[in-house]
Structure 1
Amino acid sequence: MKAIIPAAGQGTRLYPQTHTKPKAMVRLAGRPILGHILQNIAKTRIDEVVVVVGGPMKGQIVQYAKQEFSDRFELTFVEQETADGLGHSIYQTESVARGDELLIALGDMLFENGFDKFLEAHDSLSDTDGSIGVKRVEEPSHYGVVETDETGEILQLVEKPDDPPSDFAISGVYIVNDSDSLFDALGNLVENDIRGAGDEYQLTDALQGMIETDRSLHIFEVEEWYDCGRPDTLLEANRVLLGRTDSYAGDDLDSSVIIPPVDLGDDVQIESSVVGPNVSVDDGTVIRQSIVSDTIVGQDATLRGVNIDESIVGGNAEVFGEANHLNVGDNSSINL
């Protein structure tokens, strides 16, 4: 089995953080989003991973994945040259993934339960060509939605419908046994320019095409998931992941109070400050005379004399003075 991680998205909802890094490389709880995904896949039986990259900053993803995970996975990188949707992204992997069993894990989604649990749920299904992780939600029209029969077999999939056929939202994890049929369906969309929601080639439409050619797809339910493509849910995911540990490390914690859970990178200096709870601080950052909580701080940033909460501060940013809520991009300088 191979894992496919589509990580070519531009990440516009995370501006200004994604002006200088791909969405998958935004850091929370000690590592980039991509690192959390790969770490969770590493706990499964999967040993081959295909990462779809794109755009001028794709090299950051390639370098990170090779540096941190080449000893665990056989890594392949495929480029998506145009941003034409999730279905188009997956279609780019045909030459290296057709014929294999696949786990597709979106590059901006983190899950409360791990991929090993999803594979166990999939393996418990009988006579299926694939399965999709779903969760009941209050506003299904904001998501891809599935309609099932009483056995959990999928009858219909539709992307962001005005009149949802159910409250089962597609969560962003897919397991496909019959990848030949999947790539046939994706090829039909792309080659015939059949675009769906957002004027893009949708993976949901390809899965619906599999059903219409008599393939059997089922669901398994997931617990909470976090769409890390938005600032509020990125911070929520940071809180959840940090909540699994109460440890921290730092080179200089002079006259300061650390309130766990906090993750501090290497060479972090904290002086006369209160940091935590739920704070992730990257390498080389300096925090002085500040109060910082529920915040993600990038590499080599400087905070001085600030009081910030529920904020994201990019790498090499400098923030001085009073503040409450910030979303500061890399290499910024703010004097409040």
Structure 2
Amino acid sequence: MKIIVPMAGRGSRLRPHSLTIPKPLIPVAGQPIVHRLVKDIAKVLKQPIEEIAFVLGDPAWFGDDVVSSLQDLAEGLGAKASIYRQDQPLGTGHAIMCAKPSLSGPAVIAYADTLIRAKFDLDPNADSVIWTKQVDNPEAYGVVKLNANEEIVELVEKPQDFVSNQAVIGIYYFKDVSVLKDKLQEVLEENVMNGGEYQINDGIKRMMADGNVFKTGTVDEWMDCGNKAITIETNGKMLGFLKADGEEQLVAPSVKLDNSKVIEPCFIGENVVLKNTTVGPYVSIGNNSFIENATIKNSLIQTHTIIKNANLDEAMIGNYVSFDGNFKAISIGDYAVLE
């Protein structure tokens, strides 16, 4: 099995946090988004992963440190890491085709701006599985249309009339991804574009027209990381899941508490100092941060940051920040100083 991860976008909706770090590498609940996504997919697949192909953007932005991080991720799952580049933002279909040498055999394609919780088995009778989430407002999403056999027969974008409540979340399984590759090659050669981009859906629709069987795999939770507010919400949800699972150590042994307390669930990294401070619930704090005279809940704070005299709720703070103030629902990017 292979996993293909297109992640070349700049994450403009998550600025300023994505100005210095590619969005898929921003930690949520203590791990980068893409790391959590790939690991959760591997759990669902329940089979060995032989290769993980990452499609990155400009090397000036997705540099050697990013490549090294992704290689470590793949190796930790016993897989080979393949690195490709998408030099122009020409859509989802174009991004996948940038990894053309890896497009063979069974594969999952997953876009690195979402997190999931799921337990299901891949349907052995399906040529492909499109992962979906039941939603209350399907008119706001791209949804699947099913026939009487529960097979996907159409993809409908933001339907005005009810089609189904199964929203497409951007994760796909192909029994042989080379079939999709051939159809996307046709899309590129015929210059079929939607919104000025080459889309994965145009390849999928051609597969459906040829009689390939598509089924749904419904996830229990679908958590977006598109902007500051939803990323904080996702951080809180993930902390709750991790606490319930009991599989990860969420508070590092090196954390120093000086007249302070932690209200779980929280993630607190290595060498963090809390002084006269209450943290939690639903707070993540990165390594080597110092927090004094503060109350913090429902917030996401990255590494090497100093916070003093703060009452924070729904805050997102980057790396190497110095903050001393009386604001509340804030969003501060890397290297900012507010004193």
Aligned to 2:130: 132
Is 1:144 the counterpart of 2:148? The answer is no
Map 1:1-336 onto structure 2 (within 5 A): 1-43=1-43, 44-45=46-47, 46-55=49-58, 56-59=60-63, 60-71=65-76, 72-97=78-103, 99-113=104-118, 117-118=119-120, 120=121, 122=122, 124-126=123-125, 128-161=126-159, 165-196=163-194, 198-243=195-240, 244-245=242-243, 247-249=250-252, 250-335=254-339
Secondary structure at 2:198 match in 1: coil
Secondary structure of 1:325 counterpart: coil
- Report % sequence identity: 31
Give CA-to-partner distance per residue, 1:142-199, whole Å, 9 cap, x none. 3222111021111111334555633321022211113222112211222222112x43
Distance 1:330 1:183 in 2: 39
Distance (whole Å) between structure 1 residues aligned to residue 299 and residue 290 of structure 2: 14
Query: Structure 1 CA distance, aligned partners of 2:151 and 2:41?
Result: 26
CA distance in 2, matches of 1:220, 1:141: 20
> For the structure 1 residues 316 and 164, does the alpha-carbon distance in structure 2 shift closer, same or farther, using more than 3 Å as the test?
farther
* CA distance in structure 2 between the aligned counterparts of 1:85 and 1:164, rounded to whole angstroms: 27
Asked whether the 8 Å contact 1:159–1:205 carries over to 2, the reply is: no
**Code of the aligned partner of 1:206:** G
Could you tell me how far apart the structure 2 residues matched to 1:109 and 1:100 are? Answer: 24
Q: CA deviation at 1:283?
A: 0.9
Normalising by the residue count of structure 1, what TM-score does the alignment of the two structures yield? 0.91
| Structure-1 separation of matches of 2:111 and 2:295 | 34
Separation in 1 of the partners of 2:210 and 2:74?
38
Secondary structure in 2 matching 1:18: coil
> What are the Cα deviations for residues 52-92 of structure 1, in whole angstroms up to 9, with x where unaligned?
11123212431212234424221111111111121111111
Cα distance in 1 for partners of 2:269, 2:167 equals: 36
Q: 1:67 to 1:133 in 2, by over 3 A?
A: closer
Is contact 1:190–1:201 with CA below 8 Å preserved after alignment? yes
Unaligned ranges ≥5, structure 2: none
